[in-house]
């Protein structure tokens, strides 16, 4: 076998991993069916933003340790095969293993004794054992003796790959000692702590890492909507809860989304002994766009028809370019159903954006949908009377809904008021 490791799937999880393996001296085959991704990688350009990885890509290509291929069959040339594929959920709260099954079907003819197959994707409990059984059923290769199967879940946050790949504990879930050893030996190149466990415990640990954050962020969003009912300021209530109190710790509100947080509850909900609990958490987050639209309507005379609303931010997370499962698009659709004239801007999604000055021009309302740093203090650029809807408090207004320069029952904003308020802490995706 010519390469030490093959990484199947060069997305936001797989490509940084492949580059890091190469940067640590391993010979790597990166595999993806998307020719645009392969062309970008081969030409030395990262197809997405991930802090520090452009330099890694350049070094990997210069060293010759990174090769790319379109066919999954090429993974058979490596000793270790890491699957970093999408694992979406069907609309009926059912886990979709289609991408993993398809990759396995392509790999079966080239799998041979000595191969290690490592799942890096987020998977439902029982998937690792299913993969082992699938290989044995169709090829007769026994796990732990002839091939080796383990789950090594990804828990690194976007834009933190290089700092966390070597500092976060690496969970290795395997049913036999040799599979565990093979997975640990591969990921030990990063110098991280290896935590051995069973496959299902590794699967649950990853799923519930994201469920925990999704649930934690639902509480301040629910509080934000309740504060609107009572005319209270959610940011002041949160400060009262947290400041100098040892049992505080409630997070700040926001449009909590992202491909990991929004779907991973379904991995548990599919067989949950308490069905509906996590669906309720999802419902809280999914209600925030409607809450913002209704709040604007109340403050603009009951109708948004023919009123220009600027939506700032299309990605799901601050200062990233990932739009997957972003709630900004739901917000835009709801505004359009109110017959509003919607402008949009995001510095990281230029092909879907209006220029910022053009988006803000003549807008009667501005929604900070994503707390990008470029929007910090944005209210200073707005004309008097404009409504700012900012659940993140990214603009530092100190309220969710504010009217610039008009003390008419909403929080009045002036340049000095805005400058004196710092943005609240931001949410961070666990995936």
Specify if 35 maps to a domain.
yes
Q: Which of 382, 427, 373, 376 is nearest to 402 (CA)?
A: 382
What integer pLDDT is reported at residue 379 of this predicted model?
Answer: 87
Total domains in the fold of the chain = 2
Residue 173 and residue 214 in one domain: no
CA distance 241 to 14: 40
Specify if 176 maps to a domain.
yes
Main-chain phi, psi angles of 45, to 5 degrees: -125, 125
Residue 212 and residue 349 in one domain: yes
Specify if 66 maps to a domain.
yes
Residue 382 and residue 415 in one domain: yes
Residue 102 and residue 220 in one domain: no
CB contact at 8 A, 315 and 340: no
Structure tokens at 24: 């640590």
Specify if 427 maps to a domain.
no
Residue 269 and residue 326 in one domain: yes
**DSSP states of 2-47:** -EEEEEE--STTHHHHHHHHHHTT--EEEE-S-HHHHHHHHTT--S
DSSP secondary structure letter of residue 119 = E
Residue 322 and residue 380 in one domain: yes
Sequence-ordered list of residues with C-beta below 8 angstroms from that of 180, at least 6 positions apart, any chain:
150, 172, 174, 196
- End residue of a domain, out of 158, 179, 197: 197
Report the Cα 213 to chain-centroid distance in Å.
12
Main-chain phi, psi angles of 181, to 5 degrees: -65, -45
CATH number of the domain where residue 143 is located: 3.40.50.720
Specify if 430 maps to a domain.
no
Residue 65 and residue 159 in one domain: yes
Residue 297 and residue 216 in one domain: yes
Residue 260 and residue 314 in one domain: yes
Specify if 202 maps to a domain.
no
- End residue of a domain, out of 157, 175, 197: 197
- Measured in residues, the chain has a length of 431
Angle between helices 127-139 and 199-230 (to 10 degrees): 140
Structural domain harbouring 225: 207-419
CB contact at 8 A, 117 and 130: no
What integer pLDDT is reported at residue 18 of this predicted model?
Answer: 98
What integer pLDDT is reported at residue 69 of this predicted model?
Answer: 97
Look at residue 113 and give its three-state secondary structure: coil
Residue 15 and residue 144 in one domain: yes
CA distance 42 to 40: 6
Specify if 425 maps to a domain.
no
Residue 18 and residue 83 in one domain: yes
Specify if 58 maps to a domain.
yes
Block means of pLDDT (10 residues each) for the chain, length 431 residues? 85 96 97 96 96 96 96 96 85 78 95 97 92 96 97 93 96 98 97 97 94 94 97 96 94 88 76 82 94 97 97 96 94 98 98 96 97 92 93 92 69 38 44 48
What integer pLDDT is reported at residue 91 of this predicted model?
Answer: 64
Residue 90 and residue 237 in one domain: no
- End residue of a domain, out of 197, 231, 246: 197
What integer pLDDT is reported at residue 2 of this predicted model?
Answer: 57
């Amino acid at each position: 076998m010519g390469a030490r490791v093959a990484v199947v799937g060069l997305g936001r999880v797989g490509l940084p991993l492949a580059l890091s393996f190469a940067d640590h001296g391993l010979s790597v085959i990166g595999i993806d069916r998307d020719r645009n991704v392969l062309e970008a990688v081969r030409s030395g350009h990262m197809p997405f933003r991930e802090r520090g990885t452009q330099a890694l890509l350049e070094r990997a290509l210069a060293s010759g340790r990174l090769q790319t291929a379109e066919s999954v069959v090429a993974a058979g040339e490596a000793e270790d095969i890491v699957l970093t594929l999408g694992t979406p959920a069907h609309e009926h709260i059912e886990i979709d293993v289609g991408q993993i099954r398809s990759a396995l079907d392509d790999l079966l003819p080239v799998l041979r004794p000595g191969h290690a197959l490592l799942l890096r994707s987020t998977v439902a409990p029982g998937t690792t054992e299913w993969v082992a059984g699938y290989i044995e059923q169709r090829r007769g290769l026994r796990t732990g003796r002839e091939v080796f199967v383990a789950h090594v879940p990804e828990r690194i946050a976007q834009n933190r790959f290089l700092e966390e790949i070597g500092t976060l504990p690496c969970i290795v879930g395997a049913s036999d000692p040799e599979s565990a050893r093979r997975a640990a030996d591969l990921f030990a190149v990063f110098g991280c702590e290896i935590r051995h466990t069973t496959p299902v415990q590794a699967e649950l640990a990853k799923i519930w890492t994201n469920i925990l954050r999704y649930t934690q962020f639902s509480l301040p969003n629910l509080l934000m909507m309740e504060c609107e009912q009572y005319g209270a300021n959610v940011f002041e209530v949160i400060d009262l809860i947290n400041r100098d109190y040892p049992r505080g710790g409630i997070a700040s509100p926001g449009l909590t989304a992202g491909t990991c947080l929004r779907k991973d509850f379904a991995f548990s909900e599919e067989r949950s002994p308490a069905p509906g609990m996590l669906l309720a958490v999802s419902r809280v987050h999914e209600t925030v766009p409607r809450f913002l639209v209704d709040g604007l309507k109340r403050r603009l005379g009951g109708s948004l028809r023919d009123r220009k609303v600027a939506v700032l931010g299309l990605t799901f997370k601050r200062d990233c370019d990932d739009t997957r499962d972003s709630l900004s698009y739901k917000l835009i659709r709801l505004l359009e159903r109110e017959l509003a004239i919607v402008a949009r801007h995001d510095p990281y999604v230029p092909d879907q954006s209006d220029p910022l000055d053009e988006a803000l021009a003549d807008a009667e309302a501005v929604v900070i949908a994503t707390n990008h740093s470029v929007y910090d203090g944005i209210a200073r650029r707005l004309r008097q009377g404009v409504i700012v809807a900012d659940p993140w408090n990214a603009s530092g207004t100190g309220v969710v809904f504010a009217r610039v320069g008009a003390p008419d029952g909403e929080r009045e904003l002036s340049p000095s008021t805005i400058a004196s308020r710092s943005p609240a802490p931001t949410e961070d995706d666990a995936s």
